[in-house]
Structure 1
Amino acid sequence: MIPDSGSADTWLMSSTFQCLDRSHNQQDQIACNFGPSFTGNFSGGRIADEHMNISYGGGDSLNGDMGYEDITVAGITIPKQQMSLVTSASIRGNGIFSGILGLGMRGLTTSYTGSNPANDSPATAKEYAPLVETMSKKIAPLFSVAMSRDDNRSFISFGGVPPNVTTGEFATTPIRQMSMNGGPKHYIYYGIMPDNMKVSNTEANQTWPRPVGMLVDTGTTLNYFPADVAQAINDLFVPPAVYGGEGTFAVRCDAVPPRVEIGIGGKAIPINPSNLILPETKQSTPDGDYCISGVAANAGLSILGDAFLEELLVVFDVSDKKQMKFAQRTDKTAQ
């Protein structure tokens, strides 16, 4: 399962799910390319007249039954956690993961009453207690993430921070309340308001004194900024990155990235230079090897994704404090 702070629903693929293309035509399950599916039903019972309905920005969607299941993660068992078994999906997997471990807050849950997703609307939405809320009844109400390209240095910790990760000083900032569909503000995403953003290379530097609010999302690979900001950052690669379509930029894999700092809680948090070029995306061309830039142009919300989070220790505090903490790791010198 993918630990996803940008989603509050925990779900697994049911062994009987229908694989769909984006036009919702049925395909063989193998076309959806998920890992092992979940066999069986909800041990705590299915919830009658309630279902999950998620639509993602890329056009993919998921529908599923809702029910109660005992979930154990990191040695902590959460009895009768509400979750979903997916019955139909147009999303594509990577042949490994089988679902999402939703780490978002209550306002981001996507449960609806009734049995027909076509009738879903804000009026039929039904919030429920997600994993981070029910888990907080047994442990301290926080979790932390320490990502690295090195699997042996990548951790997620519930109720505290990983004991084998050392850091510099933390920067602390509140989680912002947000409004969805014009409704009242409440806690939905892990949204923060940065102090500023600074970008520089050996020849130029730029500062955005007050960037827009940004979401911190472990389930998103790239950083997504407004189009003009993303273009300006990608122009400062040496040689510059080029727009590749759908918001992404291509850059020579051996390019020199600019220095990008996000001001958070009065401290400058740099994006690790190695995260600004994704080597796993390398494509060889007659002009050389090109990779995807870690900075993309958004089509809506600005997001600090994995390309920002790597080599940081990030604490998601869902207690009454509702705050986030960021610190650079010192347990290994970042490359």
Structure 2
Amino acid sequence: MRSSTAVAAVAALTAPLVSAIHLAPRSSNPRVISLPIERRNIPDILAHEQSRLRKRQGTVEQTLDNEESLYYANLSLGTPEQSLRLHIDTGSSDLWVNTPDSSFCSSATNPCEGGTYDPSASSTYKFVNDEFNISYVDGSGAIGDYVTDTLHFGGHTLNDFQFGIGETSSSQQGVLGIGYASNEVQVNRAGLDPYPNLPEALVNASLIASNAYSLWLNDLDASTGEILFGGVNTEKYEGDLATMPIIQTYGGYYELVVALTGMTVAGTDLSSSSSLPAGVLLDSGSTLSYLPDDITQEIYNQVQAVYQPDVGAAYAECSLASSDATLDFDFSGQTISVPYNELFLNAGTNNFGQPLTFTNGEEACLFGIAPTLGGTALLGDTFLRSAYVVYDLANNEISLAQTVFNSTSDNIQEITTGTDSVPNASPVANPVTDVAGATGGARLGAGAATATVTGFSDPTDTANAASLGKSIPFGSSMGAVFAVAVAVLAL
């Protein structure tokens, strides 16, 4: 999710009044629905990221993955039920699945292992329209219909639930988008009214009180996490939740963007960067986090990361993961600290099945921070694992707290309607809504551009590699040269 535009300070057209989420005391029957999520390893993280960052041609961007996702949930569609494993994505808004006869699933060697949906096999299927159409600048995407059918998960049922089906596609992984309904494909491609996506449908069915949910991914080694629709689990975070406004993009509320106001890496303050404050998208569908280029370079300098332009990411020595240093993110006074051991990812193996190493013999890890290429900043799973996040779409607010890793206790409280403050969620004192436009703000400007990275430590530069005692990890087979083309539209 990137864009490229001139650097400018831009104010959101309407800054909402910041108020705390109203948490009702826990009752014997709170209206909260838990959706367990599971983490799966993917064979090539960088291939996953590159496919994810391709741009859809349309008013608001939509994402689609070509690799197995890291975080997914199990649910079923139809009558009788057809089981599916879907990628959890706060950066998009449609639930989308393949059909068994889709161009991708019918031709793949291991076709669509997350499951498919066959409308002809369901007695409760209904056709809505043929406006489901996600396309990318590289020609990939999915085309099909919008339909309704019965959705089952967590012991609950939603009748006549609308979703997209891909009859022609180039992705094997279905997506469970839970962002703003205003970001749905049929709204932005066909100009139709939004339909109730999953969070709104749960409200309409009186299963939850408010269009809000919380996300807890747990740490890098954990295999499970949790989404609570309509609720907060106070045992999964420490301190208080700090509430801040979502920043408008395109003159409205389309994506879950907040203001990143400061950064500190291993005690070095980076807050003087001209790239800050930056609008950042909190996106569970992205494995890596993407920060403004100058900030990313400073972080790379601190960890002696070696940037590889051909894959758009950096490698660093795995031994640094044992450091007790942190990368700290400030949001209008609320700080989320990310331990170093959450930022060093398995880089895979070389062509001989051996771990990737630098030329000095040190094992190489994929570093969890990448540059924005002059475009939009995005905080993916390498950040979100350390944060407890409440997405309050009803009030256009997000609340953040430091996560508690590996918590086995529960104290679930219902998120009710209204905006009253409670001790668990307090508004930040001075919410920031003006953000820098180019190196990490909300997607602004007009026209299209192809973004490239300049000014980063080049691992092919002999002098630089020698100074770090490093060069390109030996035998790396990950990724390919790519340029991210971005379409940015006027507000």
After TM superposition, the score normalised by the length of structure 1 is 0.81
- Indicate if the aligned counterparts of 1:155 and 1:162 stay in contact, CA closer than 8 A: no
Gap change, CA 1:234 and 1:329, over 3 Å in 2 = same
Q: Which residue of 1 aligns with 2:445?
A: none
- Is 225-234 or 276-285 further displaced after alignment? 276-285
Gap change, CA 1:123 and 1:249, over 3 Å in 2 = closer
Q: Which residue of 2 aligns with 1:207?
A: 271
Q: Which residue of 2 aligns with 1:232?
A: 298
| Residue 142 of structure 1, CA deviation | 0.9
What SS does structure 2 have at the residue aligned with 1:107?
helix
Q: For 1:186-239, what per-residue CA distance to the aligned partner results, in whole angstroms no more than 9, with x for missing partners?
A: 1111011122222235xx5432463310000010111111222212211111xx
Q: Which residue of 2 aligns with 1:106?
A: 181
Which whole-Å CA distance do the structure 2 matches of 1:126 and 1:99 have between them? Answer: 23
The counterpart of 1:219, out of the listed 269, 273, 285, is 285
The counterpart of 1:134, out of the listed 186, 198, 201, is 201
* Percent of aligned pairs sharing the same letter: 25
Does 2:251 correspond to 1:251?
no
Gap change, CA 1:136 and 1:220, over 3 Å in 2 = same
Does 2:213 correspond to 1:143?
yes
Q: Which amino acid aligns with 2:257?
A: G
Q: Which residue of 2 aligns with 1:29?
A: 108
Q: Which amino acid aligns with 2:216?
A: A
| Residue 74 of structure 1, CA deviation | 2.9
Does 2:334 correspond to 1:267?
yes
Q: Which residue of 2 aligns with 1:86?
A: 166
Gap change, CA 1:227 and 1:60, over 3 Å in 2 = farther
- Is 221-230 or 161-170 further displaced after alignment? 161-170
Gap change, CA 1:9 and 1:145, over 3 Å in 2 = same
Does 2:336 correspond to 1:293?
no
| Residue 58 of structure 1, CA deviation | 7.9
The counterpart of 1:277, out of the listed 344, 348, 354, is 344
- Indicate if the aligned counterparts of 2:134 and 2:185 stay in contact, CA closer than 8 A: yes
- Indicate if the aligned counterparts of 1:276 and 1:295 stay in contact, CA closer than 8 A: yes
Which whole-Å CA distance do the structure 1 matches of 2:288 and 2:111 have between them? Answer: 23
Q: Which residue of 1 aligns with 2:52?
A: none
Which whole-Å CA distance do the structure 2 matches of 1:207 and 1:57 have between them? Answer: 35
Does 2:156 correspond to 1:76?
yes
Gap change, CA 1:226 and 1:34, over 3 Å in 2 = farther
Q: Which amino acid aligns with 1:142?
A: A
What SS does structure 1 have at the residue aligned with 2:294?
helix
Does 2:102 correspond to 1:46?
no
Gap change, CA 1:221 and 1:58, over 3 Å in 2 = farther
Gap change, CA 1:7 and 1:176, over 3 Å in 2 = same
Larger radius of gyration: 2
5+ residue gaps, structure 2, are 1-85, 350-354, 408-491
Q: Which residue of 1 aligns with 2:380?
A: 305
- Indicate if the aligned counterparts of 1:51 and 1:65 stay in contact, CA closer than 8 A: yes
Q: For 1:45-88, what per-residue CA distance to the aligned partner results, in whole angstroms no more than 9, with x for missing partners?
A: 0113x321224688742222111122223333222121011112
What SS does structure 1 have at the residue aligned with 2:260?
coil
Does 2:321 correspond to 1:242?
no
- Greater strand share, 1 or 2? 1
Q: For 1:278-325, what per-residue CA distance to the aligned partner results, in whole angstroms no more than 9, with x for missing partners?
A: 136464235332111110012432101110010321111111x21111
Which whole-Å CA distance do the structure 1 matches of 2:189 and 2:341 have between them? Answer: 45
Q: Which residue of 2 aligns with 1:156?
A: 227
| Residue 259 of structure 1, CA deviation | 2.9
- Indicate if the aligned counterparts of 1:168 and 1:330 stay in contact, CA closer than 8 A: no
Q: Which amino acid aligns with 1:29?
A: A
What SS does structure 1 have at the residue aligned with 2:201?
helix
Gap change, CA 1:166 and 1:223, over 3 Å in 2 = closer
Which whole-Å CA distance do the structure 2 matches of 1:208 and 1:278 have between them? Answer: 29
- Indicate if the aligned counterparts of 2:217 and 2:225 stay in contact, CA closer than 8 A: yes
Which whole-Å CA distance do the structure 1 matches of 2:193 and 2:348 have between them? Answer: 38
5+ residue gaps, structure 1, are 21-26, 113-121, 180-184
Q: Which residue of 1 aligns with 2:94?
A: 9
Which whole-Å CA distance do the structure 2 matches of 1:34 and 1:56 have between them? Answer: 23
Q: Which amino acid aligns with 1:68?
A: T
